[in-house]
């Protein structure tokens, strides 16, 4: 798998847990999931907020575990790919993310892309607010016991923030970047009706 495809796959893994949570509600109009089988990165090539080499290394360590965890019911498990990436960038310690440093890292990642700067700044604030509101569930996920051999339990805060950032950046993709076609329009429309975080 080439590096750009692998990175997109990792981002999709980070966002797919949210899609599964939406699908769990039987009477939810969003339960069937997105109406098209289109990779969001084909519609909106969002900037990488974390170095791609770091994400690939973390995927190689925890990708298989993450795939298994995404199939599990109950309290959402922490994404070890995300925690690994936050550890590698020195943004995570003891269940906490260094918010100011992380905000700076995200803004540095879009420094040469002015169309993304205000969106990334606002999304960072919104995602930390979301994490605060979900702190009880996040803390519960951190206390889970391994459910299969070799499973590492990671704190959910890193995955919550990175997943939220990916979803918000897609939902608010600048018009100058968004690839307008039927499938992408349907995917964006789905995202506007169905909360995916």
CA 111 to chain centroid, in Å, comes to 21
> What pLDDT score does 158 carry?
95
> What pLDDT score does 74 carry?
87
Query: pTM surpassing 0.85?
Result: no
At 42-59, the pLDDT tens digits run: 999 999 999 999 999 999
């Amino acid at each position: 798998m080439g590096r750009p495809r692998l990175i997109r796959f990792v981002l999709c893994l980070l966002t797919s847990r949210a899609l599964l949570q939406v699908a769990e509600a039987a009477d939810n109009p969003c339960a069937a999931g997105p109406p098209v089988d289109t990779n969001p990165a084909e519609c909106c090539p969002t900037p990488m907020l974390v170095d791609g080499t770091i994400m690939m290394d973390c995927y190689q360590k925890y990708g298989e575990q993450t795939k298994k965890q995404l199939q599990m019911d109950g309290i959402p498990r922490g994404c070890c790919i995300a925690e690994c990436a936050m550890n590698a960038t020195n943004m995570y310690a003891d269940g906490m993310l260094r918010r100011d440093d992380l905000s700076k890292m995200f803004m540095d990642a879009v420094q040469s892309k002015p169309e993304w700067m205000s969106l990334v700044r606002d999304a960072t604030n919104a995602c930390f607010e979301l994490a605060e509101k979900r702190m009880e569930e996040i803390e519960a996920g951190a206390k889970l016991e391994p459910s299969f051999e070799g499973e590492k339990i990671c704190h959910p805060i890193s995955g919550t923030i990175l997943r939220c950032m990916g979803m918000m950046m897609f939902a608010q993709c600048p018009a100058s970047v968004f690839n307008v076609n039927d499938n992408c329009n349907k995917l964006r429309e789905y995202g506007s009706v169905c909360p995916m975080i």
